[in-house]
Amino acid sequence: MSTISHVIGTGISSAVQVAVVAVGGPVLVGVMRKVRCRLEGRVGPPVLQPLVDIRKLFRKQRFRPDQATWIFTLAPVMLVATVVVAAAITPLVTTHPALRASSDLFVLVYLLLVGSTLLALAGLDAGTAFGGMGSSRAVTIGALAEPALLVTILALSTTAHSSNLPAIVSAILAHPESVATPQRLFALGALLIVIVAESGRLPVDNPATHLELTMVHEAMILEYAGPDLALVTVGEAMRLTLLLGIFVNLVAPWGVATSTSVSGVVVGLASVVAKVAVVGVFLAVFEVFIAKVRLFRVPELLAGAFVLALLGVVSGLVAK
Amino acid sequence: MTAGVLVVAGALLGLGGAIAGALLPKGWRVRAATALIWAACGCEAAAAIHVLAIDRPIVLRSTELLPFTGVTLVLNSLGAFFVLLVVMVAVPATLYGIGYASHGLDTRTAACVFPLFVTTLLLVPTAGSVATFMALWELMALTSLLLVLVDHSASEASRSAGTWYAVLTHVGAATILVAFLILAAHSGGQTFAAIAVHARHLASGVRALVFMLALVGFGSKAGAVPFHVWLPKAHPEAPSPVSALMSGAMVALGVYGIVLVGDDLLGGGPVWWWLVVLVLGGASALFGSLHAASSTDLKRLLAYSTTDNIGLVLLAVGAAGLYDATRHPLLAALSLVSALVLLFNHAAFKGALFLSAGSVQVATGSRDLDRLGGLLRRMPQTGALFLVAAAAISALPPLNGFIGEWLLFQSLLHGAVIGSTAADIAIPLAVAALALTAGLTVVAFVKAVGIGFLGRPRSESADEATEVPRTMRLAVGLLVAVCVVLGVAPTLIFPAVERAVKTALPGLGTRILAHGVDLQVVGLRGMLAPAALAGSLAGAVVGIMVLRRALSRQPTPRVVEAWGCGRQLQTARMQYTATSFAEPVQRVFDDVLRPVQDLDVTHVAESRYVIESVTFANTVDDAIERSLYTPVIRAVRRWGQVARRLQPGSVHRYLAYGLGALVILLVAVAVMG
């Protein structure tokens, strides 16, 4: 009986996580836009504008370039599907999500890679210059971000002796004194840089412009319109939210439910929303004060992240 | 005993295939040889499964077959795993060979040598003595060399590839032979069983020499840096079924050799041996993936990607030895498991990729990505199969490549906390190498699929391409099915892998991995539920497709022209090319790749402000070939020129040489006697 209620509990909490990421993602983007606009002295669109845009896009007609294949159609679906699965298995609200066994940092990285790889292929599918340019740049940045990302995972995993996310989060909750070790601080710094790069935010990519010479992500998805564009937009917003959600629960996991009780899930939900909102606002403020770096300066940024992550691993060894 | 009959029957059937290929008329030879090879594969696979099931080796001896030494065949669990790996590639590759036959495989030579090559691949892991091993190993090298040369024996590139392969493989064979001779001389016998007993008590210097010689020899067969230079030359020239077998199976036997000598015969070694293996592995992985990311020839790209995958396998083998040397048997076993799983997976997807590259070459006559494009619409099945295999090699879940890299990452992750200084430094760097390799592999294969199969066709032949015969698609499909099945249910091969690992690393009593649907590393905290992950991903995809259809008011898409910045005309030349796609990676890593770029601007005679034509050339040579091999070749050639002066053609001079030599000999005898 208890196993059945546990299964139902994990299922419901995973559904809650997917729902909060799906709805919260576009709202987070709206909040970040609003903060930026206000700091730049503009009024800015309403916070819920991204949701309204997505609803509008879903109702429009679908388009397909004449050279495109089924990959063009599949890529947005795959992008959203991988983020949905990732959101379902990550400990955002509770440390007991569904498929807890696969809730591994390594699995999450590669799961998200499926979506971005297919999107890169879709960029080449229409046979235009812009799509290829975006794909080429996006996969290059992705490849360069990978070492920093995996070494960060290595640094974060050594305390829990596992790359399983619920295990890592539980280990921090059980040993609060380990929360601010140099090892973790370096690794989390590296992780934040990688998240910014992977979700195409400033200073790596500017999601607000369509300038030919500097576009990365926007060039790749230029051929999308209507419901497909809506899926890409939702997918990207969900991805940013999910990555920030993982980040905040690795920085300060307090509030996350250690069971699947209703009160625990409600508290967990409120805390993760609050924490992600704080980090999102922080990122938006940060973005006001910096400019996009040149494409060929991005490797230096990512190399910096890699060095930070390696410092994390090394300082963990020194401390031992 | 019945199992021993199977091994012999397999060998005889393979030889029968070679004879059938040599004697039968053109219409019959390929089919007959293929049927006999399948029978041989069946026999060997049955013997291998039998050995893995009872976990006891089959031993066969014959003193009559080879003079002086006799033939010793020992099929143990480690060898049996490699036999199964060879069978897994050989059956689809030979099936593919039926449809591909008219492209150079139906000549009498090829039809005879191809079955012989497959037979030697099947038998090398069963060799139980130095003489047997070297005989089979040489036969494998020679048959594969003939097959590299068979396709276009007139072309310059093919001859050059043959020379490079012949030299490197024989330098490798020579170092392996020296290593084995040292072992045999100290053991009083040349069977591996006798060597394994005595080799553990040798002086550490001798053991190190043997291991390093074996590492060079087997490393050159495996395609590890810096011995990889033959791969990007030989693979593009060889017929595709041969490339698939060479890259999937033969290269894996190089790793078999390293495990055989390092773990089975020498019984492990000090930490520094394995650090050398780790460095070789990391360098191969990075160098191979960088070149794969910047290659524009499809088969050259695949060849470099073989070096990259073998690098990952060597990382796992090196980590296994490192853990074994620092007394962490469970971690050592886990690393070796990941090495074998990576090899098996590599054989499956690389076989599929080489075979599909062959289909592309058959359909378009080109391997140059910049002359392909739009093939997914023209060859939908080949294209889709190539896409899945490319996703598998890019380690995307839920396919088999992901499982291998997950296992490798888990073994490295747990190794980072064992508290040995060597491991502390090596492991984080190995993780970084694994990560960058994985990222660059994605670049390489997004390029291969995106430029080769998507977009507009870049040449007329690509535009007119049609789907290849059914047997060729079926062959690729079999290998892709292995990729999918082992991605969703990897535990299917784990019993076999575990037996093989316990043969190489004896003394490990417990299980390494739990044998359920889910992967679990026994005694360590590492879990993965691949089937559930794949199921939920499939469910999410279907759910979102339904949702998109439900929300959209007009669900069928309207087909429109792609946006061309306001221009009316879209041509294939406006697309990104393979060269331009790889340009950012090439620019970031130009210190390693050292591309040669040549920009030539011709002005109109009247004014230098008006440009008549611009030519731009961008070539990426192999930097290791240029800086390591070219000087050696030049020196050898110079010494050759000097040595030629000794041979001017004068009989008097030759008689003087003979007299001089005799005098020196007599003096030497007098002095020493």
State the nearest Cα–Cα gap between B481 and chain A, in angstroms.
19
Please name the residues between 492 and 531 in chain B that touch chain A, using a CB distance below 8 Å: 518, 520, 524-530
The b-or-e profile of B307-329 (16+ CB within 10 A means b, else e) is: bbbbbbbbbbbbbbbbbbbbebb
Interface test with A, best of B552, B559, B585 (most A CBs within 10 A): B552
Write the pLDDT tens digit of every residue in B55-83. Answer: 888 998 888 777 778 889 999 999 999 99
Mean model confidence pLDDT for chain A: 90
Residue in A closest to B535 by C-alpha: A85
- CA B383 distance to own-chain centroid: 22
Residue in A closest to B420 by C-alpha: A317
A–B interface: beta-carbon pairs under 8 A:
264
Write the pLDDT tens digit of every residue in B96-124. Answer: 999 988 887 888 888 999 999 999 999 99
Q: What is the pLDDT of residue A213?
A: 76
Q: Is the pLDDT of residue B505 over 60?
A: yes
Task: Check B431 against A320: CB less than 8 A apart.
Answer: no
Q: Is the pLDDT of residue A259 over 50?
A: yes
DSSP, collapsed to helix, strand or coil, labels residue B598 as strand
Q: Tell me the average pLDDT across A290-316.
A: 89
CA distance B533 to B260: 36
Residue in A closest to B398 by C-alpha: A111
State the nearest Cα–Cα gap between B572 and chain A, in angstroms.
7
State the nearest Cα–Cα gap between B621 and chain A, in angstroms.
21
Percent of chain B with pLDDT over 70: 96
Q: What confidence tier does A180 reach under pLDDT thresholds 50, 70, 90?
A: confident
CB A246 within 8 A of CB A72: no
Interface test with B, best of A59, A72, A136 (most B CBs within 10 A): A136
DSSP, collapsed to helix, strand or coil, labels residue B19 as helix
How is chain B split into domains, by residue range? 270-508, 627-672
Q: What confidence tier does A1 reach under pLDDT thresholds 50, 70, 90?
A: very low
Q: Length of chain B, please?
A: 673
Please name the residues between 52 and 71 in chain A that touch chain B, using a CB distance below 8 Å: 58-69, 71
Given CB atoms, is B550 within the 8 Å cutoff of chain A?
A: no
Q: Is the pLDDT of residue B570 over 90?
A: no
Given CB atoms, is B551 within the 8 Å cutoff of chain A?
A: yes
Given CB atoms, is A20 within the 8 Å cutoff of chain B?
A: no
What DSSP string describes A118-170? HHHHHHHHT--HHHHHHHHHHHHHHHHHHHHHHHHHHHHHTTTTS-BHHHHHH
Q: What confidence tier does B510 reach under pLDDT thresholds 50, 70, 90?
A: low
Task: Check A127 against B570: CB less than 8 A apart.
Answer: yes
Given CB atoms, is B569 within the 8 Å cutoff of chain A?
A: no
Q: What confidence tier does A207 reach under pLDDT thresholds 50, 70, 90?
A: confident
Q: Which chain B positions have a beta carbon within 8 Å of A183's beta carbon? A: none
Task: Check B576 against A306: CB less than 8 A apart.
Answer: no
Q: What confidence tier does B396 reach under pLDDT thresholds 50, 70, 90?
A: very high
Q: Is the pLDDT of residue B476 over 90?
A: yes
CA distance B497 to B378: 40
Which of B373, B520, B561 is closest, CB to CB, to A66? B561
Task: Check A124 against B450: CB less than 8 A apart.
Answer: yes
> B555 or B670: which carries more pLDDT confidence?
B670
Q: What is the pLDDT of residue B89?
A: 96
Residue A106: C-alpha distances to residues A113, A141, A249, B538, B562 (Å): 11, 18, 16, 20, 37
Q: Is the pLDDT of residue B265 over 60?
A: yes
The b-or-e profile of B394-422 (16+ CB within 10 A means b, else e) is: bbbbbbbbbbbbbbbbbbbbbbbbeebeb
Q: Which chain A positions have a beta carbon within 8 Å of B438's beta carbon? A: 146, 150
Q: Is B124 left (phi over 0), alpha (psi -120 to 50) or beta?
A: alpha
Q: Is the pLDDT of residue A203 over 90?
A: no
| Adjacent-strand bridge partners of B559 | A64
Q: Tell me the average pLDDT across B269-285.
A: 94
Q: Which chain B positions have a beta carbon within 8 Å of A145's beta carbon? A: 439
Q: Is the pLDDT of residue B178 over 80?
A: yes
Write the pLDDT tens digit of every residue in A152-168. Answer: 998 888 878 888 888 88
Please name the residues between 157 and 186 in chain A that touch chain B, using a CB distance below 8 Å: 157-158, 160-164, 167
Given CB atoms, is B533 within the 8 Å cutoff of chain A?
A: yes
| 3-state SS, one letter per residue, for B400-446 | HHHHHHHHHHHHHHHHCCCCCHHHHHHHHHHHHHHHHHHHHHHHHHH
CB B437 within 8 A of CB A134: no
Return the structure tokens found at B265.
């015969």
Q: What confidence tier does B206 reach under pLDDT thresholds 50, 70, 90?
A: very high
CA distance B533 to B330: 27
Is-cis flag, bond preceding B530, omega within 30?
no
Least confident segment among B396-410, B495-509, B581-595: B495-509
Please name the residues between 417 and 446 in chain B that touch chain A, using a CB distance below 8 Å: 417, 419, 424, 427-428, 431-432, 434-436, 438-440, 442-443, 446
Residue in A closest to B545 by C-alpha: A77
Which of B397, B554, B580 is closest, CB to CB, to A110? B397
What ipTM score was computed for the predicted complex, to two decimals? 0.95
| Adjacent-strand bridge partners of B191 | B129
Percent of chain A with pLDDT over 90: 56
CA distance A206 to A229: 18
CA distance A116 to A236: 10
Q: Is the pLDDT of residue B425 over 70?
A: yes
Least confident segment among A81-85, A212-216, B567-571, B578-582: B567-571
CA distance B588 to A142: 13
Task: Check A222 against B584: CB less than 8 A apart.
Answer: no
Q: What is the pLDDT of residue B415?
A: 79
CB B43 within 8 A of CB B10: yes
Task: Check B557 against A69: CB less than 8 A apart.
Answer: no
Residue B14: C-alpha distances to residues A78, A229, B85, B95, B142 (Å): 46, 57, 17, 15, 16
Helix axes A182-198 and A298-319, enclosed angle (nearest 10) = 160
Q: Is the pLDDT of residue A188 over 60?
A: yes
Mean model confidence pLDDT for chain B: 90
Task: Check B576 against A299: CB less than 8 A apart.
Answer: no
Q: Are strands A63-65 and B58-62 parallel, antiparallel or unpaired?
A: unpaired
Which of B410, B454, B570 is closest, CB to CB, to A71? B454
Q: Is the pLDDT of residue A150 over 80?
A: yes
Least confident segment among B188-197, B288-297, B357-366, B551-560: B551-560
Task: Check B524 against A99: CB less than 8 A apart.
Answer: no
Interface test with B, best of A99, A150, A156, A300 (most B CBs within 10 A): A150
How is chain A split into domains, by residue range? 2-319
Task: Check A160 against B525: CB less than 8 A apart.
Answer: yes
Q: What is the pLDDT of residue B151?
A: 66
Q: Which chain A positions have a beta carbon within 8 Å of B439's beta carbon? A: 142-147
Task: Check A135 against B446: CB less than 8 A apart.
Answer: yes
Q: What confidence tier does A193 reach under pLDDT thresholds 50, 70, 90?
A: very high
Residue A51: C-alpha distances to residues A31, A72, B211 (Å): 12, 24, 64
Residue B390: C-alpha distances to residues B301, B308, B397, B643 (Å): 12, 14, 12, 50
Residue in B closest to A123 by C-alpha: B450
Residue B558: C-alpha distances to residues A63, A226, B444 (Å): 5, 11, 32
